[in-house]
Amino acid sequence: MGSIKSGLFISLDGVIESPETWHFDYWNDEMGAAVGALMEGNDAMLLGRKTYDGFAEYWPKADPDDPMTKQMNESRKYVVSNTLTEATWENSTIISGDVKAELTKLKQDAQLGTTGSAVLVQWLVEQELVDELHLLVHPVVIGKGQKLFADGAKVPLKLQSATTFTTGVVHTVYGPAAG
């Protein structure tokens, strides 16, 4: 049986928008190991349209000597979108229509990991498709920006683990409350 694991950088006030402007002050080896572990063992990436567009623009042109570039470009990618008509980034497949049924079928045999893709992650949580929700909670208040759960359905979750890094970032892992 496969799973869906989602990981996001998030501020104390729930902001997930533009982490590149606020999260690097907290990056260290502990966070690098946590992010690496989250990506390790995945059979494919699961991306929302906006994240896919940004990644598809950046990674094919990124430094070919960076091991992350190779990993990102060669990985299997599933893009959840009802508007994208063509996925040109190598190893990309569009999932549309009955997305819940498609993902339920796909996760039977595959380990899927999301990076970013906040709208998708919120939907996955509401549909009870996420097996592990990793939130790297940064000790900073951003004050404005897109929040992970600004609006949406109530979904009970169960804390599976919490680890505090030396930078004050808390890595929390949540799973289904009923699981």
- Which residues are paired to 157 by β-bridges? 176
Nearest to 50 by CA among 18, 73, 20: 18
Looking at residue 178, its pLDDT comes to: 76
pLDDT at 58 over 70: yes
Place of tokens 């000597």: 65
In this prediction, residue 9 has a pLDDT band, given cuts at 50, 70 and 90, of very high
Q: What per-residue confidence (pLDDT) applies to 86? A: 92
Find tokens 């680890």 and name the residue. Answer: 163
Residue with tokens 């919490």: 162
- Select the CATH number that applies to the domain covering 3-176 from these four: 3.40.50.300, 3.40.430.10, 3.40.50.1970, 3.40.50.720: 3.40.430.10
CB 40 within 8 A of CB 165: no
Beta carbons within 10 angstroms of residue 93's beta carbon:
11
Name the CA dihedral angle for 129, 103, 3, 59, rounded to a multiple of 10 degrees.
-110
Whether residue 179 has pLDDT greater than 60:
no
User: pTM for this one?
Assistant: 0.90
Domains in the chain: boundaries? 3-176
The strand pair at 111-115 and 76-80 is best described as: unpaired
Average pLDDT (98-115) is 92
The mean per-residue pLDDT over the stretch 142-165 comes to 91
Asked whether the beta carbons of 138 and 22 are under 8 A apart, the reply is: yes
